[in-house]
A and B are shown apart, each in its own frame.
Chain A
Amino acid sequence: MADKLLKVQPIRNGTVIDHLRAGTGLKILDILDVADTGNTVSLLINVPSSKQGRKDIIKIEDRELTESETERIALISPGAHVNIIRNYSVAEKTAVEIPEEVAGVARCPNTNCISNNERGATSRLLLRSREPVHLACAYCARLVTEDELQFL
């Protein structure tokens, strides 16, 4: 699997985000904010996949993801694989999963919520359902659906 992927366009060191739900790649590039960092980034859209039919793939050279970035990816495309590449081979491979609590990643949609009105407050969303993705604000209990996610 990894070999086949690397044949497309091998990278020496960096991160390959594979098995992204088709159509989510652009959104993920957006939240990863890779434009200003100078890293070489490639995005493959609608790649044929035996498991998924179609999938998106993102490759970022010379950069590994932070925990907060991994959580964002999980919220947009749960089940995606994050492969850390070192010296042309996959050093680590993880399937991203939405954690039970996501802190400081996405905003509560309730404008009157304390988390949107207190300086220094960290938003906390608790996972209520994985399929479909439903979260709830840990403070005001407002339900947040996938479409309502606003990343910080």
Chain B
Amino acid sequence: MPRPLAKGMSKDLITMDDLSDDDIVGLLDDAARLVPVAHGDVHLPLLEGKLLGNMFFEPSTRTRMSFETAMKRLGGNVINLGALASSSVSKGETLYDTMRMVDGYCDLAVLRHPRQGAAQYAADACTIPIVNAGDGAGHHPTQTLLDLFTIREELGKLEGLTVGLLGDLRYGRTVHSLAAALARYDATMHFIAPKSLAMPRRVTAELPDGWSAHTTLDEILPELDLLYVTRIQKERFPDPEDYARVAGAYTISAETLRDAKPVLRILHPLPRVNEIATDVDDTGHAAYFRQAFNGVPVRMALLEMLLGSD
């Protein structure tokens, strides 16, 4: 269970549910202010003397580097405990013991772990704040925060948008968290996926009315303010021909977007394979590279919230 801090926020960030609506707005506002610092144009060493421990029990270079950049841009230091994580696994050390040791080393730890619930388990073992950077098929709240930040930056608001989520909606935890988060802002959501990869009931059961499921993009594309594209993974299909057919049907190109509103923005958690053709990059719709950069100011705002002195 999250323990409350003076600021009213939990000491840890394990799931989006740890954040109130006000917490989210506060973080997004701070992130917007920190953009020049994230670019290196302004020097703001708010976290000087603080040490972040990156504990990656499975690789995710992008997420790890984004946290590292955020911490260093705020004047803090980072130690990568990936080697410790893998040696503790090979030596049969428990996550509990490893985290207890890290608790003494660092001021905050970022945890990526293949097991669901690992982040909460680690947070219970530690006195320092724990940030969940993905635990199995569980949560990855900083991805959701950076998605929300990108949407607000690109479209000027979060409320009342018409949003399409496209691709692998069954296994993609990113889209599950994003759908839950967008529901806080009265989004009209369209889930576009092949039947075998449709949004699971356990996700839709938690959503208010205002969503619908589709198997093709064409019919709803003209209504969309935002299209969030995810990768369809080959491993989900026993038959390679099925994969090729399905993946091909959910590919976005400049031609696909002919009937889109000019304001439509396309997001993608990256890396992409071929679900967005490179000719989309040069249209006004492409927002995914800015989205990737936004991970830095959003994580800066979070680190400042968890570690900064008021």
Contacts and interface: CB of A to CB of B under 8 A. Distances in A.
Interface stretch (B65-73, B109-117, B183-191, B221-229): B109-117
Interface in B170-214: none
B1 A114 contact: no
Given A112-B115, A114-B115, A139 B94 contact: no
B95 A114 contact: yes
Interface string A108-152: 101011110111110000100000000001111110000000000
A110 B136 CA distance: 11
* Chain B contact residues, majority secondary structure: loop
A36 to B, nearest CB: 31
Interface string B112-137: 01111110110000000000000111
A118 B95 contact: yes
B291 interface: no
Interface size class of B (residues with CB under 8 A): 10 to 19
B164 interface: no
B121 A115 contact: yes
Contact of B121 (A112, A139, A142): A139
Given A112-B136, A112-B137, A137 B117 contact: yes
A113 B115 contact: yes
Contacts of A117: 115
A120 to B, nearest CB: 6
B208 to A, nearest CB: 19
B138 interface: yes
A139 B116 contact: yes
B15 interface: yes
Contact of B116 (A113, A126, A138): A113
B243 interface: no
Given A112-B115, A112-B136, A113-B116, A120 B96 contact: yes
Contacts, number: 54
Given A139-B121, A141-B15, A114 B116 contact: yes
A106 B162 CA distance: 43
Contact of B118 (A126, A138, A139, A141): A139
Nearest to B122: A114
Contacts of B137: 112
B178 to A, nearest CB: 17
A79 B260 CA distance: 60
Interface string A38-49: 000000000000
Nearest to B123: A139
Interface in B78-113: 92, 94-96, 113
A121 B96 CA distance: 8
B117 A113 contact: yes
A137 B121 CA distance: 11
Interface string A70-105: 000000000000000000000000000000000000
Contact of A114 (B15, B92, B121): B121
A41 B15 CA distance: 47
A141 B173 CA distance: 14
B121 A118 contact: yes
Given A113-B116, A114-B118, A121-B121, A138 B95 contact: no
Interface of A: 108, 110, 112-115, 117-121, 126, 137-142
Interface of B: 1, 15, 92, 94-96, 113-118, 120-121, 135-138
4 nearest A-B pairs in the assembled complex, by CB-CB distance: A139-B117, A140-B117, A140-B116, A114-B115
20 contacts: A112-B114, A112-B116, A112-B136, A112-B137, A113-B115, A114-B116, A114-B118, A115-B117, A118-B94, A120-B94, A121-B96, A126-B1, A137-B117, A138-B117, A138-B120, A139-B118, A140-B117, A140-B135, A140-B136, A141-B117
Given A113-B117, A114-B116, A121-B94, 17 more contacts: A108-B117, A112-B114, A112-B137, A113-B115, A115-B121, A118-B115, A119-B94, A121-B96, A126-B1, A137-B117, A138-B117, A139-B117, A139-B121, A140-B117, A140-B138, A141-B15, A141-B117
